[in-house]
Amino acid sequence: MKEGNTVLHVVICGEERSQRLPGVLKSALEGREYVLAGAGDGLAGAPILFVIPLPVHGVNHAAYDLVAYLRTHPGCLKGSVGGVWIDGGGDLYTKALGREVVLSASLAGCAFPGRGLVEGTGELRNFAVQAKNGGCSLEEAYRRAVRDLVGRVLCFDPPKSRRPRLVVLHASNHRTSNTAALWKGVKERLRGPFDITEVALRNGTLVDCSGCPYTMCLHFGEKGECFYGGVMVREVYPAIRDADAVVLLCPNYNDALSANLTACINRLTALYRTVSFQDKAVFALVVSGYSGGDIVASQVVSALSMNKGFYLPPGFCLLETANDPGTALRLPGIEERLAAFAENMEAQLMG
């Protein structure tokens, strides 16, 4: 898809920059119309590139000011599309900060194309594979990635369907699970026609990925299969291949996705090698017994959107806290939040 004539809004967080950042930024913006902006400059409806220089110690106060603004101004990015570029001084902290910014921006109304984060670590060793595949230097691979991100932000236009196809992945007991109860509440409030496939990943039905060699994984992926077979090949792969969106039901297990959901995401690699997920959305319902739902939601961001390339709709996740079975549906204001989440799903997927 070609880029339109839209003006890119470039939000640079902080003034401490590496020697390489200005040159990479110049390359990414060459031939494109852009303005420098701040978080409070009326960014609703705009394409945005968040640029975050990150020192080796991993603290950029301006970046956390941005996060604070997004969290305290609901809807400030309604209708916008974003990408995040973090230029790091070391090998740590870039991904953690990136997914925190993306989660906060999504909850403020911003959408993100798949692989909406580009991170340059200190020595750019994270670009070794891209440089090898592209026959170029690490820095040139880095430049290309940032420029590509800008292009994908500017031309982001997710498909709409008159009858969206959803695949719902869960490992929950429907009789006792608060997460499953919330999904039932959302499903009951979907007014438009949806084709919904629910896949249970419970009771030892799923073997985790064991890291097959690349060529073996590619060989099976080209046939729509995986060496380990099972429910992934029989049910999950065909459903995701045909889906417009994936919905993850995510109870918080020790501040992490459940083992079965994690195994499922790992096993998607074989399919990902041969099927693009860029036109597929990801949604998540996250329920914590005590706290930490944001940690689980950020794992969905990094695993499925930043890594596997699913696009992230605005407000992609519903975050609730409920402990005893049945309490989720008795939370104050839950009826309104379920209705709003269902309405957002319809708005993002139906056309």
Q: pLDDT band for position 232 (50/70/90)? A: confident
Q: Quick one: average pLDDT of 22-34? A: 97
Three-state SS letters, the chain: CCCCCCCEEEEECCCCCCCCHHHHHHHHHCCCCEEECCCCCCCCCCEEEEEEEECCCCCCHHHHHHHHHHHHCCCCCCCCEEEEEEEECCCCCHHHHHHHHHHHHHHCCCEECCCCEEEECCCCHHHHHHHHHHCCCHHHHHHHHHHHHHHHHHCCCCCCECCCEEEEEECCCCCCCHHHHHHHHHHHCCCCCCEEEEEECCCCCCCCCCCCCHHHHHHHHHCCCCCCCCHHHHHHHHHHHHCCEEEEEEECCCCCCCHHHHHHHHHCHHHHCCCCCCCCEEEEEEEECCCCHHHHHHHHHHHHHHHCCCEECCCCEEEEECCCCCCHHHCCCHHHHHHHHHHHHHHHHEC
Residue 207: its pLDDT value, please? 52
**Could you read off the pLDDT of 161-192 as tens digits, one per residue?**
999 999 999 987 777 899 999 999 999 999 98
Q: Quick one: average pLDDT of 314-343? A: 97
- What φ, ψ does residue 200 adopt, rounded to 5°? -90, 135
Residue 4: its pLDDT value, please? 61
Check pLDDT > 90 for residue 1: no
Residue 224: its pLDDT value, please? 47
Q: With pLDDT > 70 as the criterion, what percentage of the chain qualifies?
A: 90
Q: pLDDT band for position 125 (50/70/90)? A: very high
Higher pLDDT, 351 or 52: 52
Q: pLDDT band for position 205 (50/70/90)? A: low
Q: Quick one: average pLDDT of 304-331? A: 97
Residue 136: its pLDDT value, please? 98
Check pLDDT > 80 for residue 208: no
- What φ, ψ does residue 305 adopt, rounded to 5°? -95, -55
Q: With pLDDT > 90 as the criterion, what percentage of the chain qualifies?
A: 82
Among 91-95, 114-118, 227-231, 273-277, the range scoring the smallest mean pLDDT is 227-231
Among 82-91, 109-118, 210-219, 245-254, the range scoring the smallest mean pLDDT is 210-219
Nearest to 281 by CA among 232, 229, 346, 234: 346
Does the predicted TM-score (pTM) go above 0.85? yes
Q: What CA–CA distance (Å, rounded) separates 265 from 259?
A: 10
- Residue 205 CA: distances (Å) to CA of 246, 266, 270, 283, 290: 19, 15, 18, 23, 28
In this structure, how many other beta carbons lie within 10 angstroms of the beta carbon of residue 227? 16
Kindly give, in sequence order, each residue whose CB lies less than 8 Å from that of residue 277, ignoring residues fewer than 6 positions away.
Answer: 114, 240, 308, 309, 310
Residue 284: its pLDDT value, please? 98
Check pLDDT > 80 for residue 230: no
Q: pLDDT band for position 202 (50/70/90)? A: low
Q: In this structure, which amino acid lies at residue 62? A: A
Residue 203: its pLDDT value, please? 57
Nearest to 195 by CA among 172, 224, 170, 161: 161
Q: What CA–CA distance (Å, rounded) separates 308 from 305?
A: 6
Nearest to 338 by CA among 183, 221, 233, 219: 183
Q: Quick one: average pLDDT of 35-45? A: 95
Sheet holding 117-120, edge to edge: 34-36, 8-12, 47-54, 81-88, 117-120
Residue 2: its pLDDT value, please? 59
Residue 211: its pLDDT value, please? 47
- What φ, ψ does residue 131 adopt, rounded to 5°? -65, -40
Check pLDDT > 70 for residue 44: yes
